[in-house]
Amino acid sequence: MKKYYKLFFFPAIIIIIAGIFSGFSKQSCDQVVESLLEERTSILQKAYYGKIDEETAEKSLAKIETYPLLSEDIQGLRNSDPTQLDIVKSMELRNVTQSMKMFDYISYQLEIRWYMSGLSADYVCDNEYSVVVKSTNSGYKLSEFNPI
């Protein structure tokens, strides 16, 4: 029996090590959704307030979004009046739950706490959203972002 313990010991060690380090190699979907939404918000804010031009914003959005959200955001950029928009200071994702996964699409229900700066004062608001993320060869892209 002493000769065979190595047959069980080494595969067990390999499985444990692979299990531990596999969690570090890829972000969870929740983290991906959070980073995509933060990047989208940052790009839109910069475009609305003239820190980047419209063409640069559209190219940046195309890297993290897919249709129909991409066309909605581009149309919003072209037709918006930034003087009527409050500034997003930061955002916090809360209660992120995956509601469905179908083919390359993953649906989420989540709540975002927005820390905003308005004309008269800073304020905080909570809103619930439905978010759809599409899995692509290069990673994930936002497909839909709708208030509930």
pLDDT in tens, 52-87: 999 999 999 999 999 999 999 999 888 887 767 888
Task: Find residue 126's DSSP bridge partners.
Answer: 113
Closest CA to 102 of 69, 143, 48, 62: 143
Sheet containing strand 139-147, strands side by side: 87-102, 105-117, 122-136, 139-147
Q: What is the pLDDT of residue 12?
A: 66
Q: Kindly state the average pLDDT of the residues 87-93.
A: 92
* Bridge partners, 135 (sequence order): 140
Q: Are 88 and 114 in contact (CB under 8 A)?
A: yes
Q: Which two tokens stand for residue 111?
A: 């709540």
pTM check: above 0.85: no
For residue 113, the model assigns a pLDDT of 95
Q: Which domains does the chain have, with CATH numbers?
A: 29-147 (3.10.450.50)
**Band (28; pLDDT cuts 50, 70, 90):** confident
Alpha carbon distance 91, 114 (integer Å): 5
φ, ψ of residue 129 to 5 degrees: the values are: -135, 155
pLDDT tens digits, 99-142: 888 888 999 999 999 999 988 899 999 999 999 999 988 889 99
